[in-house]
Amino acid sequence: MSKNIKLISIVLFALFSFFILLKGLDKSNTYSPSIDKSKIDFNFKSKYLFSEKEVFLNELLKNEGMTLINIWASWCLPCKDEHAYLLKLKSLNNLNIIGINYKDNEKNAKKFLSELGNPYTNIITDPNGINSIELGAFGVPETYLIENKSKLIIKKFIGPIDDKSFTQLTKIIQ
């Protein structure tokens, strides 16, 4: 009798592991943290691009509506692709877009914006990448949609904005 119980329990355990591993195969290896966790402290100071003044990110968020924070750099190729979308968003909804210029030099950044246009209401710099980490970012480009009142992230895009994420964004904003 006890032998059967042993057999059954071992078989059940093996079956259990089997299904777990089978399901585990479907999970992707790329990792993105769940949104509800990333409550961000926007209270860090940073320098404006093309000026020596410093500002707290908090002060750049308005009290009503939404703000889009976009991390970009002139050396990052996908940033060029998503730039058109940012410009469209700006013209469509007159959205408050804050740029964070990631590990860039000012000359290149200026050239980048004069060639492709400037969708940003304000641009702050992140010369060594630590401000982006405060936001919980992985690298460039990355985009956050923030509700100004609650200071919560509504939507987060890792990597460049494309057609799909653009329609998502416009839907949420409207």
Partner 1 sequence: MVIISFLTLIYAFVTSDFSNETVYNNSHTAKPLFYKISGTWGNHEGSLLLWLLVLTIFLFLFVIDSKNLSQRYRTLTLFFQEIIILGFLLFILFTSNPFSNIFPVPIEGTGLNPILQDPALAIHPPILYLGYVGTSIIFSSALGAIISGSINKSWASHIKRWVLISWVFLSIGILLGSIWAYYELGWGGFWFWDPVENVSLMPWLCLTALLHTVFTLEKRGTFQSWAIILSITTFSLSMSGTFLVRSGILNSIHTFANDPSRGVFILCFLFVLIFISIFIYFFYQKTITVDPTKTFLMSKETAVLINNLFMMFFLSVVLIGTVYPIFLEVINNEKISIGPPFYHKLIIPFLIPFLFFMAIGPNIKWIKDKMVKINLKDIFIFVISIVISYIFVNKFGVSYLLSLPLFILSLFLFFVTIRDFFGKNINISQKISHFGFSLLILSILLNGVLAKEHSSNMRVGDEIKFLNKIIQFQNIEVIKKQNYQTLIGKFNIVDENNSLSLKPEIRIYDQPQTITSEADISSTIFADNFLVFNIIKNDGFYNVRYQIKPFMIWIWISVLLISLGGILSLKKKNV
Partner 2 sequence: MNKMKILLKLIIIFLLFQNFSSAETSQKVDKISKNLRCLICQGQSVYDSQSDFALSMKILIQNKIDEGKNDEQIYDFLKNKYGEWIVYDPEINKNTFLLWVLPLILFVFGGILIFRKVSIK
Give contact residues for partner 2 (rule: CB under 8 A).
Answer: 31, 33-34, 37-40, 103, 128-130, 132-136, 138-139
Nearer to partner 2, 43 or 128 (CB): 128
- Cβ proximity to partner 1: between 27 and 107 the closer is 27
- Residues binding partner 1 (CB under 8 A): 3, 6-7, 10-11, 14, 18, 20-27, 29, 31, 103
- Rounded to an integer, what distance in angstroms lies between the CA atom of residue 60 and that of residue 77? 27
Residue 49 CB partners (closer than 8 Å, separation 6+):
99, 101, 106, 109, 123, 124, 125
The one of partner 2, partner 1, none whose footprint includes residue 25, by CB under 5 to 8 A per kind, is: partner 1
Nearest CB to partner 1, comparing residues 7 and 92: 7
Q: Which residue has the tokens 């190729």?
A: 77
Length of the chain: 174
Report, in Å, the least distance between residue 69 CB and partner 1.
Answer: 24
The CA–CA distances, whole Å, from 79 to 21, 90, 116 equal 38, 16, 11
By beta-carbon proximity to partner 1, the closer residue of 31 and 52 is 31
Least distance from C-beta 26 to partner 2, angstroms? Answer: 18
Query: With contact defined as beta carbons under 8 Å apart, do 123 and 101 qualify?
Result: yes
